[in-house]
Structure formats: C-alpha cells, structure tokens
Amino acid sequence: MDERVLTGDRVTGKLHLGHYVGSLKNRVELQNNYDIFIELADVQALTTHFDKPEMLKKNVRNITMDYLASGIDPEKSTIFVQSLIPEIAELTVYYSMFVTVSALRHNPTTKSEAEAHGYKDLYYGFLGYPVSQAADITFCKAKLIPVGDDQLPHIEQTRRIVRRFNQLYHPVLIEPEALISEVPRLVGLDGNNKMSKSLGNAIQLDTTEQDVNEKIKNAKTDPARVHKNDLGHPEVCPIYAYHRIFRSEGADEICESCKKGTIGCMECKKKIALSINHLLEPMRQRRADYLKKPEIVDEILIAGTQRARKVAKETMREVREAMNLDYF
C-alpha cells in the first residue's frame, strides 16, 4: 500500500494563498503517489474559537470546496472531519499522561499564537493542542506531513510522543516526518505577519478578480517609498515576495527597477494582481462546476470520514493492546 500522508486545516475560515503555496499545492501532487488523509480540524479550531461554534458547519463545507477547487480529487484523497473520529480524542488523553507541561509551554509556535490571541493564562486545550495533533497524525500512521514552517515544533513534539509511546508500551506507532514546501511562510498583505485566516491579511482562494485587484491595491509596500522615484527595498516588500513566489514574468527586472526607483508601486501591483488572478482562474472554474451539485460536498465528507474511522478503530485496537487496556 502507498505510504500515508496526513495534512489538514483548522476550520477557522476560508483557505487563502498561504495555504495554497504552503500546503495545498503539495497535496495536489502527493495525492497521485500517496494515500493522503486530509483533516478538517474542527476540534483544533475550538481551541481558540470555543465561543464561536456557529462557524463550524459553514467552514467545514467552505474548506472542502476550497480543496476541490484547488484540485484535490476525492477519489484519491480521504477528506474527513476531526471530531467525528473519537479515537483521536481518546489517543490525546493517553498521550497526555507522558507529555510534560513545560515541554508544551516551550513550544515556540504555541507561544507566538498565544501572544497573537492576547492570552495571559493559557487554556488547557490550547496549550495541549500539539498533543491532539500527535493523535491526528498517529491514528492513521501517517509518515509524511506537508506543512508550513510554523508546524515544525508540533511535528517534533509528535515524534517525541511516538518514540516515548513505542518505548513505554509496544512499537505500534509510526514516527512522521515534516515535508516543508518551497514556500514555508507566505507573508500577509500587511507585510508583517504570515498570511493567516485569523488576521485579516489574506487573499482567499475564492476571491473574485476584482477583489484581488482591490486587495493588492491596498497592500502594504516598502514604507521607504513614498514617491515613484524613491529608491526601493524589494526585500522588505510583500508585493515583491509575491512576484517571486507566483513567478510573475520579469520578477528580476521588477526588482532592479524598484531599487532604482524606475517602476512605481502601482504598476508593480498591477502585474502581481494579474499573476494571482491567473493562478486563481482555474480554481474559480472548478468551484463553479462543483457548485452545480452542492450535495456532493456532504457525500465526500461522509465517505471520507467513514474510511478514516475504520483506520482509527484498527490503530486503537493495537494501542489498547499495547497499553494493557484490552480487558475482554
């Protein structure tokens, strides 16, 4: 059987270009050679959005549509809902017996996310979400995890959990590896943070052509450039980062002209808006096709979740046996 890959997204909002270059693009390629599981992480979404459960149903379906639009093929990939696999919650409890609070507190990603959310006192579920993520990865014995660089500390935590479990009980679990994309961190339109669902600095994959133009027009650029002739610093400009990543024609010349102050930000922005629209156009087409039969989204989710559950039950049986919890 093909090696298994697990990836997923918190169902906190629609997917954006950061997801595409950071993870989705890889998934679309991997689905041809791997058995890929894609998790709609609703439980993990609740770690920061427990007071907004009304967003879950809408986001689960929107994100599934984003997957389909970006080229995920439900015949090749298994798309499932995290909370419908209770074995994940069960594994989380068992793993949490041997993960220390200080290990979780030192996780740099959790730390910076806590800061971004303004948390002073950390919620138990939030602090522990890397343990839950270890359960996501191990229930299906995934070997490869395509992620952005913010996820590396979590993958490392999973590897430690796997080694500890296998040593304490019985070698049942598989130690996963992160697969970092060419673009581990796409900067947001604000030029400061990574493009993120929660920060309002994103271009979502379902953005219309007109809205892409508008968002790019309002994006931050090199703050030192006030007039067209001011000398630019492309290395600090998010628009230039996009030129590189979305491979606009003439990105090198744009860089030189910016440094010399011979191209204005407006012209530069028009060029990148064109490239981004070019990338999004086939996704708009696919989305429109799927929207003609919207019931297909639920059908895909039900079938994917059933398949994932079967795998989870099998792993759980082995885990219970390894831990002496197989009483009868």
Q: Under the rule (CB under 6 A), what is the footprint of ligand ATP?
A: 9-10, 12, 18-19, 22-23, 147-148, 150-151, 183-186, 194-198
- Provide, rounded to whole angstroms, the least separation between the CB of residue 11 and ligand ATP: 8
Shortest distance in whole angstroms from residue 106 CB to ligand ATP: 19
Nearer to ligand ATP, 27 or 271 (CB): 27
Identity of the residue, 53 or 294, whose beta carbon is nearer to ligand ATP in the bound complex = 53
Q: Give me the least distance between CB of 47 and ligand ATP, in Å please.
A: 10
List of residues 6+ apart from 155 with CB closer than 8 A: 137, 145, 147, 176, 177, 178
- Asked if residues 24 and 164 have their Cβ atoms less than 8 Å apart, the reply is no
The least CB distance from residue 59 to ligand ATP, in Å, is 10
Q: Give which of 93, 38, 42 is closest to 71, Cα–Cα.
A: 38
Alpha-carbon gap, residue 131 to 120, rounded angstroms = 21
Residue 12 or residue 83: which is nearer to ligand ATP going by CB? 12
Residue 200 CB, shortest distance to ligand ATP, in Å, is 10
Nearest distance from C-beta of residue 314 to ligand ATP, angstroms: 26
- Select 31 or 151, whichever has its Cβ closest to ligand ATP: 151
For ligand ATP, the closer CB: 186 or 237: 186
Contact between residue 65 and residue 110 where contact means Cβ atoms under 8 Å apart: no
Q: Which residue is nearest to ligand ATP (CB)?
A: 22
- In the complex, minimum distance from the CB of residue 262 to ligand ATP, in angstroms, rounded to a whole number: 30
Q: Which is nearer to ligand ATP, 236 or 296 (CB)?
A: 236
Rg over alpha carbons for the chain, rounded to the nearest Å, is 21
Q: Select 112 or 208, whichever has its Cβ closest to ligand ATP.
A: 112
Residue 8 or 232 having the CB closest to ligand ATP: 8
In the complex, the smallest distance separating the C-beta of residue 91 from ligand ATP, rounded to whole angstroms, is: 20
